[in-house]
Chains A and B, each alone.
Chain A
């Protein structure tokens, strides 16, 4: 009877542990799924907002947030944090924090509803390319008149001269083509395809001293049919497409040898124009005015003179305006946004935006979280729950938090390094357990061996789950040698424990040794499913342990653990006592506020009752002291 009773203790202990482990696993799985759902909601929300930002770089933040909220809701989450990311003062992406509510119960912690947060960042990369077969498109943002004509002409600075055409496709962009383009872009189109001679013919003659921005200057006017034309830009400067092999440029009026000057009616009257610092800076530096104006509008530069000089210098290094802007601004996204603002809708498909999820920033310390939503969020690690809220007040919550902290610190060191470090640590620990079980102090041998078996069971089960459905786990090199040694050791153990079971004097020893022999045999059989390649000890090569073999290995290790538990029932009793104390402690900690409140209420009631009694006594004494008419 006594032995039967003793046997039931480990059985109950194992059962309880299994139930507890199962409940904890189920809870962790639910929280982990909530973490994954929260991450997906955050990812989709960030991508939705980034897509909107890609379509319209100047969309208001409220519209971006609304798009993020819709996407998060569709994926089961709620947006609780949102901000637009900027680079060089321009929108470059969004950062979203989404939360999902996870419900469940954990052993020792009771029913809980946790808010599981996740953060995601999506970036937008802009790019722009100009059509090499057309003029640079210009958006004058509604400007009209003579200064707009000059600005349109200045936008072509650096563009190559090709004689006889109005576009690169037609084969050219010559002096009269530049004039025609500038007038058309500014909203004053000229009829037909203008030439220098035709422009001279329709123009009203003016003196050089009367020139106003937008007027034309001619070469060969004395013949009555000029062969070259330029556009007067004001301040004694002319924008001109000079000759084959040269690019559109700004040159001093006096340097061109111009001998005729005319004013087109299309430009309107030559009224005094308001000073335009952007146009002045672009004209004096020889830079495309529309791009300089766009840089100022977008806030990338504040000084027009400096912006124009930088852009002119960049254009001397590269002829493409997009490349020059990227060179000047230090980024293609910024260059694309400037080109889009400067060129307007005519840029068309030349403007593109790509949306990508960005790596999440490493969580900072609480004090370092300013300026980033990441500082307010505990990042969920895939495979580990991001428990929050009440979890900190419970034992399970503290364990989850500790695990998350360890995982986060490992992740901060880089996945590759942490995986290698973990593998090294794992192997060294397992080897240490084997060493202790073989040569350690007598009282530590069986605990070490049992811990090693539990270890093997866990890892074999994980590996089996990981390779299930595939050929199996490939072993070579040191892993192959280790597997061969394992087969040998497991075979020997099966024999030794089997013999011990047969010769055991007590039923407990027979049962325990029998389980150990069975477990060892199962482990050896599991490994040997890889084939005969595991039998020779020194041959090189590789073997594949199929998933079934790994499952057998795990089962054998579990049976070995059971054998050790049967041989050492005091472990189960100690474990039960420890578990009971832990549960008791968790219960006491969790109910402490209620008990404290109860004690406070009792003390308060007692004090109030005493006070009321004393008050009644005082009143009674006063009443007694009052004189009465009858005595």
Chain B
């Protein structure tokens, strides 16, 4: 019985750690996916605004780095990262007519 109890607690600890790591990985992936969606969305909106001849609002510039080179618009969004992980940057670009 003692041996089984010891094995169970090891399973519990390893399982809990694995589960926590899996959850953290999933959260990080979700954050990156969200940043990518945001970059796509910002690139779309900036491209449409530029094509319509309207100014890009400051709100968009605050949440993404927006660069324009000729017809090319490049948007960079920083994905929120969990502590101790490197900073992830997601880039997206659009060509304005």
Is B one of A's binding partners?
A: yes
Contacts of B20 in A (CB 8 A): 555
**A74 and B95 within 8 A (CB):** yes
B51 at the interface (CB under 8 A from A): yes
With contacts A7-B11, A355-B51, A507-B8 taken as known, whether A465 is within 8 angstroms of B31 at the C-beta atoms is: yes
A-B contact count (CB 8 A): 94
The closest CB in chain A to the CB of B33 belongs to A29
B36 touches A468 (CB 8 A): no
CB nearest neighbor in B for A73: B95
B15 touches A11 (CB 8 A): yes
Q: Contact check, B15 vs A33: say whether CB atoms are below 8 A apart.
A: no
Residue of B nearest to A28 (CB): B33
Chain A residues near B11 (CB, 8 Å)? 7, 511
Q: Smallest CB–CB gap between B72 and chain A, Å?
A: 9
Contact of B80 with A51 in the complex, beta carbons under 8 Å = no
Contact B27 A44 (CB under 8 A): no
Q: Could you tell me the distance between the alpha carbons of A75 and B47 in the complex, rounded to whole angstroms? A: 11
> Could you name 11 residue pairs across A and B whose Cβ atoms are closer than 8 Å?
A11-B15, A33-B40, A43-B48, A44-B51, A44-B95, A47-B51, A74-B97, A354-B53, A468-B80, A518-B16, A562-B19
- Taking a contact as CB atoms under 8 Å apart, the answer to whether B47 and A40 are in contact is yes
- Interface set of A (CB-CB < 8 Å, partner B): 3-4, 7, 11, 18, 22, 25, 29, 32-33, 36-37, 39-40, 43-45, 47-48, 51, 67, 70-71, 74-75, 354-357, 382-383, 461, 464-466, 468-469, 507, 510-511, 514-515, 518, 547, 551, 554-555, 558-559, 562
Residues of B within 8 A of A71 (CB): 95, 97
B23 within 8 A of A: yes
Q: Which among B27, B40, B53 is the interface contact of A551 at CB below 8 angstroms?
A: B27
A interface, over-half SS? helix
Question: Which residues of B approach A to under 8 Å, CB–CB?
Answer: 4-5, 7-8, 11-12, 15-16, 19-20, 22-23, 26-27, 30-31, 33-34, 36-37, 40-41, 43-44, 47-48, 51-53, 71, 80, 94-97
Q: Given A33-B40, A47-B48, A468-B80, are A558 and B23 neighbors across the interface (CB < 8 Å)?
A: yes
A33 touches B36 (CB 8 A): yes
Q: Which residues of A contact B37 (CB under 8 A)?
A: 32, 36, 383
Docked-complex contact A43 and B47, CB < 8 angstroms: yes
Give the residue among B20, B71, B94 with the most A Cβ atoms within 10 A.
B94
- Whether A51 pairs with B44 at a CB distance below 8 angstroms is no
CB-CB under 8 A from A551, the residues of chain B are 27
Q: How far is the CB of B46 from the nearest CB of chain A, in Å?
A: 11
Q: Which residue of B lies closest to A507 (CB)?
A: B8
- Selected contact of B22 from candidates A18, A468, A547, A554, CB within 8 Å: A18
B34 contacts across to A, CB distance below 8 A: 465-466, 468
- Chain B residues with CB under 8 A of A507: 4-5, 8
Check B16 against A51 for contact (C-beta < 8 Å): no
Please name the residue on chain B nearest to A70 by beta carbon. B97
Contact B94 A75 (CB under 8 A): yes
- CA A510 to CA B41, docked complex, whole Å: 48
Report the minimal beta-carbon distance from B48 to chain A, rounded to whole angstroms.
6
Assess A511 versus B30: contact at CB under 8 Å? Given A39-B44, A355-B53: no
Q: B44 contacts A558, CB within 8 Å?
A: no
Chain B contacts for A4, CB-based, 8 A: 7
Residues of B within 8 A of A547 (CB): 80
The residues of B that contact A22 with a CB separation of less than 8 Å are: 26
Closest A-chain residue to B97, C-beta based?
A: A48
Known: A29-B33, A355-B52, A551-B27. A40 touches B8 (CB 8 A): no
Contacts of A468 in B (CB 8 A): 31, 34, 80
B96 contact from A44, A354, A510, A518, Cβ within 8 A: A44
A383 to B40, CA, bound (A): 11
A554 touches B27 (CB 8 A): yes
Bound form: Cα–Cα A71–B94 in Å: 10
**Pairwise interchain contact B23-A555, C-beta atoms closer than 8 A:** yes
CB distance from A353 to the nearest CB of B (A): 10
Closest CB pairs A-B (n = 7):
A48-B97, A74-B95, A468-B80, A47-B51, A71-B97, A36-B40, A469-B80
By a CB distance below 8 angstroms, the chain B residues around A32 are 37
| Residue of chain B at shortest CB distance from A1 | B4
The verdict on A357 contacting B30 (CB below 8 Å), with A7-B11, A555-B23 known, is: no
Q: Cβ of A514: which chain B residues have Cβ within 8 Å of it?
A: 12
User: How distant is B78 from chain A, measured CB to nearest CB, in Å?
Assistant: 8
Closest B residue to A39 by CB, please name it. B44
B30 to chain A, nearest CB (A): 5
Tell me the complex Cα distance, A36–B94, Å.
Answer: 11
CA–CA, A163 and B40, complex, Å: 62
Cα A551 to Cα B30 in complex, Å, equals 12
Residue among A36, A67, A554 making CB contact with B97, cutoff 8 Å: A67
CB of B51 within 8 A of CB of A51, answer yes
CB distance from A613 to the nearest CB of B (A): 64
Contact call A75/B95, Cβ cutoff below 8 A:
yes
Cβ–Cβ contact A43 & B44, under 8 A: yes
A102 CB, min distance to chain B CBs, angstroms: 14
Question: B51: which A residues are within 8 A, CB to CB?
Answer: 44, 47-48, 51, 355
Which of chain B's residues have a CB closer than 8 A to the CB of A25? 33
Of B41, B53, B97, the contact of A44 (CB 8 Å cutoff): B97
Q: How far is the CA of A77 from the CA of B76 in the complex (A)?
A: 22
B8: A residues at CB distance < 8 A: 507, 510-511
What CA separation (Å) do A547 and B28 show in the bound complex?
Answer: 13
